[in-house]
């Protein structure tokens, strides 16, 4: 009965880091670091959109925080790679189909951002940023579970938490845009 209760409650064991670095953990670490670095390096420039688009001051501040956190994260990952030659930041290991799909998504997002304004622009920007911050949250988390470098796993856990906080702030901003009541029946 207790087991059945636990299954119904959805209890999950926390993720466990391997006890020692393995080849698989190192490959996973490098892959996560590479994908995370690539994402943060792109996101650090998102606040530059204000030069070509107008958004309200609250949104501008939120996007600036995303940009600043991304720049700081990218810089720290680069520093980690300088200190540890086994840490590789260009090992995304993505198959060609995934690379082309990501390029297609990025081109469409860029087009949507450049060719929309007002509420449509803000909604597209927020949706894109929520997706990016969610991905960064999980990349940093998985990287932290596969990194045995002193202090790096702790930094990555903190970065994951910071990206999650930004994702949640973006989600809260999106909720402001969603009607809360139903009209009619």
- H runs (alpha helix) in the chain: 2-9, 23-43, 57-83, 96-114, 118-145, 152-177
pLDDT mean over 10-36: 74
Average pLDDT over all residues of the chain = 85
pLDDT of residue 23: 84
Set out the domains of the chain in order of their start, with CATH numbers: 24-176 (1.20.1260)
Q: What separation in angstroms does the CA of 62 have from each of 15, 126, 166?
A: 30, 10, 8
The answer to whether 64 and 58 have CB atoms below 8 angstroms apart is: no
pLDDT of residue 16: 54
- pTM recorded for the entire structure: 0.81
What confidence category does residue 184 fall into, taking pLDDT thresholds of 50, 70 and 90?
A: very low
pLDDT of residue 135: 97
Tens digits of residue pLDDT in 149-177: 879 999 999 999 999 999 999 999 998 65
pLDDT of residue 149: 82
pLDDT of residue 36: 97
pLDDT mean over 82-97: 92
Q: Measure the CA–CA gap between 25 and 15, rounded to whole angstroms.
A: 14
pLDDT of residue 160: 98
Secondary structure of residue 94 in the 3-state scheme? coil
Looking at per-residue confidence, does 117 or 163 come out higher?
Answer: 163
Q: Measure the CA–CA gap between 28 and 33, rounded to whole angstroms.
A: 8
């Amino acid at each position: 009965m207790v087991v059945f209760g636990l299954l119904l409650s959805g209890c999950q064991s926390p993720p466990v880091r391997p006890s020692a670095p393995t080849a698989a953990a190192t490959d996973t670490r490098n892959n996560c670091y590479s994908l995370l670095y690539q994402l943060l390096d792109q996101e650090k420039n998102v606040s530059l959109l204000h030069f070509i688009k107008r958004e309200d001051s609250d949104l501008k501040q939120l996007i600036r925080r995303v940009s600043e956190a991304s720049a700081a994260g990218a810089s720290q990952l680069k520093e980690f790679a300088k200190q540890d030659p086994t840490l590789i930041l260009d090992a995304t290991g993505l198959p060609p189909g995934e690379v082309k799909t990501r390029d297609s998504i990025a081109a469409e997002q860029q087009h949507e951002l450049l060719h929309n304004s007002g509420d449509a622009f803000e909604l597209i920007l927020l949706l894109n940023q929520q997706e990016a911050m969610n991905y960064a949250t999980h990349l940093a988390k998985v990287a932290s579970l596969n990194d045995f470098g002193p202090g790096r796993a702790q930094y990555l856990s903190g970065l994951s938490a910071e990206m999650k906080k930004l994702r949640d702030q973006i989600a809260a901003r999106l909720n402001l845009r969603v009607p809360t009541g139903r009209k009619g029946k």
